[in-house]
A and B are shown apart, each in its own frame.
Chain A
């Protein structure tokens, strides 16, 4: 059973561009979470999704950030008009139920 897959692993964008981060949960997992790790800071929750539904987006910045988990395909975290402060590692996790979360390798976003 493959683990949580994230791509790309590294992403470089210029200020003002859009960043799309993809996450494929473990097989059979219907719960997906996104976390962000800013340089020298701990991991912070962003959003929790189930198929086709956003359950909790309390950690998402109000502007420029959006997330989806469609019926088919991976979960997408989208950042519009990126700024230098968006540079961070973005981690996706999935769970089968409401217990153990399994994390992907992360996408490291660099904004020039």
Chain B
């Protein structure tokens, strides 16, 4: 059974810092991994999708890496801004079987002005 863990559960940093969010998964046989952002009371916004054959993806100030063999992904946020404050979720999709996403519990990020 695939389990996804995100550490830390909450993180508070001053504006302008670079930071890393961690995601680990127990079964390395994944099809892809997706990072989302969720604002309070809102839906999920897809940030980055990494296919199992890829090592990283970049979008603006965000960079996500994937090490499938060790069951880990990181989301790097450069030059953080207060608008980055949200909960960040990672989710994995298995190679075979159901097409469902298995989510971690999320990291609640607060950027202090």
- Which residues of A are at the interface with B, using a C-beta cutoff of 8 A? 31, 33, 35, 41-45, 48, 55-56, 58-59, 91, 93, 98-106, 108
Q: Determine if B99 and A105 form an interchain contact, defined as CB atoms under 8 angstroms apart.
A: no
In the bound complex, residues from chain B placing their C-beta under 8 Å from that of A99 are 32, 49, 51
Sample (29) of A-B pairs whose CB atoms are under 8 Å apart: A31-B99, A33-B100, A33-B101, A35-B101, A35-B103, A41-B105, A42-B89, A42-B103, A42-B105, A43-B44, A43-B91, A44-B103, A45-B98, A45-B101, A48-B99, A56-B98, A56-B99, A58-B98, A59-B100, A99-B32, A99-B51, A100-B34, A100-B46, A103-B43, A103-B45, A105-B42, A105-B43, A106-B42, A108-B41
- Given A91-B43, A91-B44, A106-B43, do A101 and B101 touch, yes or no (CB 8 Å)? yes
Distance from B110 Cβ to chain A, minimum over Cβ atoms (Å): 18
List A contacts of B49 (CB < 8 A): 99-100
Q: A101's contact among B42, B46, B104, B105, by CB below 8 Å, is which?
A: B46
- Asked if residues B43 and A48 are in contact (CB atoms below 8 Å), the reply is no
Q: What count of chain B residues pass the 8 Å CB interface test?
A: 24
User: Which residues of A sit under 8 angstroms from B100, Cβ to Cβ?
Assistant: 33, 45, 48, 56, 58-59
Are A42 and B104 also in contact (CB < 8 A) when A102-B46, A105-B42 are?
yes
Residues in A with CB closer than 8 Å to B34 are 100-101
Measured in the bound complex, the distance between the Cα atoms of B39 and A105 in whole Å is 10
Closest to A101 in B: B101
B 90-113 contacts with A by CB, 8 A: 91, 93, 98-106
Known contacts being A103-B36, A105-B42, A105-B43, is A98 close to B31, with CB within 8 Å? Answer: yes
